[in-house]
Structure 1
């Protein structure tokens, strides 16, 4: 679920998405308009979210084994998500054109108290997810540790239960055709940290604003 986290953002960096309503004080309700100047294009808007990503070995395995499986199943042109942008989104905060250090510090004050051990992320399914044509890796019985970690993050952020919808998945490609669900040999890695990511466009890239290591 995409949330608008109250990071005391100035008006020019305010979310352009509807804010989630909740009694919790850290989930904001106010909405501000995106500012623009006459004659100039709008400021770039980019998603801000907490995420974990595959390590280098898992990402190489995706390139060598999973991407060819997608191409074989769809048999049409697909867009591959670059390795450095592959991620499992945990909590989304909205879309912003700027994130100030003070805002990151406010989030860090909550998340640095999170005491969570490193764990294994495992995916064993490929499927099309949602109307956007995203081809994702997911799982059925193997994603319990990801859900458990998501609960820990939500507890640290004091998010209410109705704001905690989470389906563990990682987008690998985008395709114009729906791909039938496929079982794949498991892709796994040890999750040792999570990150605050600002996902920018033109060019598409991820800027890591903060990192939080997990206990060994």
Structure 2
């Protein structure tokens, strides 16, 4: 007879994800979506491009939850409010695949060499999150925008440089399995 280690209760299935991100302005998001479609066709990829309104650079993932953890949202917002940084240019000039799960490899637009503004924002926000007890163990930060997921792995290729001026960062609530993002907070950067 099999007995659950949770006394017969299964752990709740995650329904909500929280993360901090930088999102491109709508015109740039449209250019990214066009690029994703062109590269999909040229490289013979089958994955569906990400919705234009979901294209972003993840700064910090706060976790997946069964329900929206209001206290974590409040603590994350308080931490983000302490980040001070001037606005900056974010540039991208390569595409390629990350390993991902079998059959579902992220095909991404990669940050240009010396993408220091995104790295600084990641580091400053990370320090504030750590001070608030919200830090999570993460891989090394590599600025990227996920364009689609595919079963194939594509080696890194150069693309025509594109980017945008980053004037804010956001706290996003993703409703898992529903392809829906909700902005829970936005923090402007100086000089915008």
Normalising by structure 1, report the TM-score. 0.73
Aligned residue-pair number: 179
Is the 2:111–2:142 Cα contact (8 Å) retained in structure 1? no
Of the candidates 42, 45, 48, which is equivalent to residue 18 of structure 2? 48
- Closer/same/farther in 2, CA of residues 161 and 76 from structure 1, 3 Å limit: closer
Aligned residue among 113, 128, 141 for 2:113:
141
Structure 1 unaligned segments of length 5 or more: list them.
Answer: 1-31
Aligned partner (choices 5, 28, 33) of residue 58 of structure 1: 28
Instruction: Give the Å deviation of 1:178.
Output: 1.5
Return 5+ residue gaps in structure 2 as ranges: 1-5
**Please, what is the CA RMSD of the aligned residues?**
2.7
Q: In the alignment, is the contact (CA less than 8 A) between 2:16 and 2:64 conserved in 1? A: yes
> CA shift at 1:43, angstroms?
5.1
CA distance in 1, matches of 2:136, 2:73: 24
CA distance in 2, matches of 1:155, 1:211: 18
Q: TM-score, normalised by structure 2?
A: 0.81
Counterpart in the other structure of 1:23? none
Once residues 163 and 178 of structure 1 are traced to their aligned partners in structure 2, the CA distance between those partners, rounded to angstroms, is 22
Contact residue 174 and residue 182 of structure 2 kept, 8 A: yes
Q: Is 1:106 the counterpart of 2:75 in the alignment?
A: yes
SS at match of 2:78: helix
Distance 1:199 1:161, change over 3 A: closer
Offset at residue 105 of structure 1 (A): 2.4
